Structure 1
Amino acid sequence: IKGHYLNATAGTCEEMIKRAVFARELGVPIVMHDYLTGGFTANTSLSHYCRDNGLLLHIHRAMHAVIDRQKNHGMHFRVLAKALRMSGGDHIHAGTVVGKLEGEREITLGFVDLLRDDFIEKDRSRGIFFTQDWVSMPGVIPVASGGIHVWHMPALTEIFGDDSVLQFGGGTLGHPWGNAPGAAANRVALEACVQARNEGRDLAREGNEIIKAACKWSPELAA
């Protein structure tokens, strides 16, 4: 789905809903909300509006580092992620393991599973301290974003799998030929990695070779 992520975050809940209504009137399919700065109750109100009116709700986690990057106080992002799933949203920035917004691989995968799976077994090595059964509560798709580009694609495909959003900003707009070739390069790299994975190839070990081979068939990727 193509659409500009119009940010409905506002100083009051009333203004936030007004912005969401305006976005819907413009015909956009998706709006964005900063759920930590906006607040959980405001986010729940917005998620109900979006669900009732056919809008996707993209969740940004601005301000999270003030809460979850402090070693001596605060709370881990897995707690904030679980709170978001209960509050409501369709996808949320969840770190990348690679790129700019790095995180510990196993811990990141732990809260990614908490976001999108219905049932998660206890696994302390991944930060899952007890078995979690979400029953029928809708899941949230993790978004990998922040400093990622085509050479990260093998790792992203292996780490996040199919049920994820890979958001390339500078990795698209920074292409020497422009935006559209940048998008084409990302798509070719993704499809090459998915095909290689489905054929049983080791993305962690063969990732660079897979991308180099795809460059032979895509001038956009080779640029």
Structure 2
Amino acid sequence: MSGGDHIHSGTVVGKLEGEREITLGFVDLLRDDFIEKDRSRGIYFTQDWVSLPGVLPVASGGIHVWHMPALTEIFGDDSVLQFGGGTLGHPWGNAPGAVANRVALEACVQARNEGRDLAREGNEIIREACKWSLELAAACEVWKEIKFEFEAMDTL
């Protein structure tokens, strides 16, 4: 890879789902200098990127505030999270939608840094953050029923 700064990596949640292990393998391939072959993670041969800079993984496609705990757990700090409709669909407008996403992200990062289990406690973490952000509370109400039900196409 030469010249890339970001690429869509799959999301695991939302409408552009893929298998978790494949997505995590691809994310590692983008970030790490050296990756061993691991077919169970979709890495078909060893890659030695030497000193090439990493590439930021991008997650998008049907993601909203309720997905933030999973996105934080999967992608960590070095990623691009593109909330199109998850921002623009806020009932109060674009700016409150952006605030809701940022508050959800900060709550999840803080919880992770405190050692909380995002996979198990994610919804509770978001509900707690709603107590001090009306923007997040409104977004949570909008997105509470949104679920994409289909089989992942990106499988091994």
- Deviation of 1:117 after TM superposition, in Å, equals 1.3
Q: Deviations over 1:103-131 (max 9, x none)?
A: 01001111111112111133222122333
Mapped to 2, the partners of 1:127 and 1:94 lie a distance apart of 12
Q: Distance in 2 between matches of 1:183 and 1:201?
A: 24
In structure 2, runs of 5+ residues without a counterpart are 134-153
Q: Hey, which bits of structure 1, 4+ residues long, moved more than 4 A? A: none
Within the candidate set 46, 49, 52, 1:131 is matched to 46
| Residues matched between the structures, number | 136
Query: Is 1:216–1:222's contact at 8 Å kept on the other side of the alignment?
Result: no
Structure 1 residue 90, shift from structure 2 partner: 0.8
Deviation for aligned residue 1:222: 35
Mapped to 1, the partners of 2:119 and 2:103 lie a distance apart of 18
Q: Report the aligned-residue RMSD.
A: 5.3
Give percent identity, aligned residues only.
93
**Structure 1 residues 126, 215: closer, same or farther in 2, change over 3 A?**
same
Q: Aligned equivalents of 1:182 and 1:157: distance in 2?
A: 18
Mapped partners of 2:34, 2:130: distance in 1: 39
The 2-side partners of 1:154 and 1:211 are apart by 8
Query: Contact 1:175–1:182 (CA<8 Å) still a contact in 2?
Result: yes
Alignment CA distance shift 1:217-1:196 (3 Å): same
Within the candidate set 58, 66, 69, 1:143 is matched to 58
Distance in 2 between residues matched to 1:121 and 1:163, nearest whole Å: 21
Change beyond 3 A, Cα 1:214–1:134: same
SS at match of 1:222: coil
Residue 104 of structure 1 pairs with residue 19 of structure 2? yes
1:40-87: CA deviations, max 9, x gaps? xxxxxxxxxxxxxxxxxxxxxxxxxxxxxxxxxxxxxxxxxxxxxx24
| Larger RCO (alpha carbons 8 Å, 6+ apart) | 2
| Aligned residue in 2 for 1:28 | none
CA distance in structure 1 between the partners assigned to 2:84 and 2:32 by the alignment = 27
8 A Cα contact 2:10 2:16, kept in partner? yes
Greater helix share, 1 or 2? 1
8 A contact 2:18–2:155 mirrored in 1 = no
User: Which structure has the bigger radius of gyration?
Assistant: 1
Question: Separation in 2 of the partners of 1:116 and 1:134?
Answer: 10
Give the deviation of 1:193 after TM superposition.
Answer: 0.3
- The answer to whether the 8 A contact 2:66-2:126 is kept is yes
Task: For residue 137 of structure 1, report the CA deviation from its aligned partner.
Answer: 1.4
TM-aligned CA distance change 1:203 to 1:222, over 3 Å: farther
State the secondary structure of the residue aligned to 2:10: coil
The CA distance in 1 between the partners of 2:99 and 2:83, in whole Å, is 12
CA contact (8 A) 2:22 2:41 kept: yes
2:74 aligned with 1:159: yes
**TM-score (norm. length: structure 1):** 0.58
SS of the equivalent of 1:87 reads coil
Deviations 1:176-201 (A, max 9, x none): 00000000000000000001011111
Q: Pick the aligned partner of 2:102 from 175, 187, 190.
A: 187
Query: CA 1:222 to 1:127, structure 2 compared with 1: closer, same or farther past 3 Å?
Result: closer
